[in-house]
Structure 1
Amino acid sequence: MLSKIATRSFSSTAANAHKVAVLGAGGGIGQPLSLLLKLNHKVTDLALYDLRGAPGVAADVSHVPTNSTVKGYNPDQLAEALTGADVIVIPAGVPRKPGMTRDDLFNTNASIVRDLAKAAAENAPNAAVLVISNPVNSTVPIVAEVFKSKGVYNPKKLFGVTTLDVLRASRFVSEIAGTNPVNEKVTVVGGHSGITIVPLLSQTNHKDLDTETRDALIHRIQFGGDEVVQAKDGAGSATLSMAQAGARFAGAVLDGLSGEKDVIEPSFVDSPLFKSEGVEFFSSKVTLGVEGVKTVHPLGELSNHEEELVKTAKETLISNIKKGVEFVKQNP
């Protein structure tokens, strides 16, 4: 049996050989995310970067017996960490504390993301960039503006990771319905904070929930992160579930880059859906391919209540996106 597994692990074809760089690999999300990426057989070269501790994480993770090399990089080695990367995942930044919104993180994380985006634009301009650092609704536009300023922006290769909202929706719906969360597929659209998060329950098997249950469920999906921040009592925010979400989305991007068909996940991308209304980025289902975003899916049929939620989300998103764009203008 072992020989079969070994053969499968060690015979990676060129299409399945990918360098993935994790920027912020020493943090609460970065460490478990790095472990999960080490388990993905499409990752053949794992580059772990952080201001401190990345070589230690790399040494630890490197002992996991999958067919990939792992190397840790210190601050003076960022260019080397990024060179040749096919996928860059950015969980770097400060975590939320009790009472903080994702927007409260803006000033600190905006500078971190801007600087990492500059390095990515210079050293790996063709990589798919997956942004986890909050507030995603503003940090994704920051990366876009930096890449534009360097003349290398490709809207098909920039993603805000909203997968945690999808995981939470599956879990929380299953708790109400008494079902297996693995079988609960919930599309979540909009953005990645509070009222910009819109789960499309009308497109699931649970469209007939009474109003009170439905509203409580939507609120819990929108503010699920607060549960974790409060439960950790000042010691951090969602890190383990976020790492799983990041690994799942990175895995989907790698599947697309490898030429697999029908790889569909929701993500916060440069979207045509509501551009005419001034909403430059929006999360919806996208089909992933060798070019990154292959197709942005329309939202489909919405209930009247969901139409209202989307309308509110769009209003908030316009200001969130503008905040990111303005930040780069004022702090190039």
Structure 2
Amino acid sequence: MNVWGASDVDAAAARGATLRVGPRDVVTPLARERARELGVTIADADGIDRPASSPATPVPDLADRGTVHTMRPPSPALFRRGAPLPGGLAPDRSGGTERVVVVGAGHVGMIAAMRLADADVFDEVVLVDIDEGRAAGIALDLQHTAALSDFATRVRGVGTVEEAGPADYVVITAGRPRQPGMTRADLVSTNAAIVGDLARRVAATSPRAVVVVVTNPLDEMTQHAWTSSGFPSSRVLGMAGVLDTARFQALVALEDGAGRARSVDAIALGSHGEEMVIPLSRATAGGRPLPQVVPPVRLNAVVDRARGSGGEVVGLLKTGSAFLAPGMSAARMVLAMVRESDEVMSAAVLADGSYGIRDVYLGLPVRLGRQGLREIVTIPLAPEELAALREAGDRIRERLGAMPRAS
């Protein structure tokens, strides 16, 4: 199988020739568009015309020889950003423009925007902040790195969600950060008002967007964003599980003999805080059960440190909170969606009865797709781990009941 691009069409036009392709070859949408512009005929090797507007070649599915499916290209990179996928494979993107909006140009928003721009998969990354000058300044500074990081993404900064324009993904980092001595719960009233207002404005501006909430207290703010936006729960997600998992992996890697952080296979569930649940029964390092690699006493200390890592960073910084890992974690979620990576990760989602929990947002294992939550994944848990996860759901539900009503 060969892949034919726009440059092949240009070469055929220069020769005044027909572009002849094999029956299983892929002609990119940009090449077809170029062929229409130049009047180049695309034909199969046997001489049969394949119109420039024709769909991708149907091929039989080997698992079901009675079914014919439209062939997908070997890589999403074959498609121009914003170009339609063939055969109805693309999600409905009306109202979206291959744009990701990051609300809040603080440190977390800045890191998330940088990571998303570097990925070079969006036409545009927009930073939004009530301090418009800060948003614009960071955006311009980030745009200046395009040659250094080799990305074509446009970056701009504005003062309102409305100025940012319709988006495919919106990351909400805005809110008051924790200060030394504060708990996440201390932020409830202030941040609920901010997140609720933003969720409603995002819904009006980007009615088909997927929202990723980073603002603390994470679980409560994600549920509040869902109810305020009116979006399906599948399109409102909380970030913390990716962050908490990464923190645990990094801390385990500091232990003797544990190896690199990426070799640690673990997942953080439950709440983003004291009710965090890290199922050690399934955790491994380098393929070995984690309790065989790290002594149990040390391993329990690592779990406790992971639960309190955010507060530890706040205490050390004294005038701010963690931002590098949170910003990168938010970007990781968005990129997993747009790339349809199919990886299992932890995210705060609305429980659907899985694990015996329902109607409350908390960290669960999920697969994400371009339209947000694809599925909640069931993984085996030890009885005490399942009980702890259910307890986390109960505690979050209690906090939601006590949360002041934000208009």
Short-chain TM bin: 0.7 to 0.9
Residue 162 of structure 2 is matched in structure 1 by 79
The CA deviation at 1:39 is 0.2
The CA deviation at 1:170 is 0.8
The CA deviation at 1:211 is 4.0
The yes-or-no answer on 1:107 pairing with 2:189 is: yes
Residue 156 of structure 1 is matched in structure 2 by 234
CA contact (8 A) 1:10 1:67 kept: no
TM-score, normalising length: structure 1: 0.85
The yes-or-no answer on 1:320 pairing with 2:389 is: no
Residue 263 of structure 2 is matched in structure 1 by 183
CA contact (8 A) 1:29 1:242 kept: yes
Q: Aligned AA for 2:393?
A: K
CA gap of 1:56–1:275, structure 2 versus 1, over 3 A, is: same
The CA deviation at 1:10 is 11
Q: Aligned AA for 2:162?
A: A
CA contact (8 A) 1:24 1:90 kept: yes
- What CA deviation, in whole Å up to 9, does each residue of 1:198-228 have, x standing for no partner? 1122112204455422321211111111110
CA contact (8 A) 2:350 2:361 kept: yes
Residue 192 of structure 1 is matched in structure 2 by 272
How do residues 88-103 of structure 1 correspond to structure 2 at under 5 angstroms?
88-103=170-185
CA distance in 1, matches of 2:245, 2:396: 19
Residue 55 of structure 1 is matched in structure 2 by 136
The yes-or-no answer on 1:173 pairing with 2:252 is: yes
The CA deviation at 1:32 is 1.9
The yes-or-no answer on 1:271 pairing with 2:351 is: yes
Q: Aligned AA for 2:83?
A: A
Residue 119 of structure 2 is matched in structure 1 by 40
Most deviating of 273-282 and 125-134? 273-282
* 3-state SS, counterpart of residue 155 of structure 2: strand
CA gap of 1:274–1:264, structure 2 versus 1, over 3 A, is: closer
- What CA deviation, in whole Å up to 9, does each residue of 1:27-81 have, x standing for no partner? 121122221111011121111100111111111111122111112111xx42121
CA RMSD of aligned residues (A): 2.3
Structure 2 unaligned runs (5+)? 1-76, 86-96, 285-289
- Tell me the matched-pair count: 306
CA contact (8 A) 2:268 2:279 kept: yes
Q: Aligned AA for 1:220?
A: R
CA gap of 1:164–1:303, structure 2 versus 1, over 3 A, is: same
The CA deviation at 1:279 is 4.6
1:134 aligns with one of 197, 201, 216:
216
Structure 1 unaligned runs (5+)? 1-7
How do residues 11-30 of structure 1 correspond to structure 2 at under 5 angstroms?
12=81, 14=83, 18-25=98-105, 27-30=106-109
CA gap of 1:323–1:34, structure 2 versus 1, over 3 A, is: farther
TM-score, normalising length: structure 2: 0.70
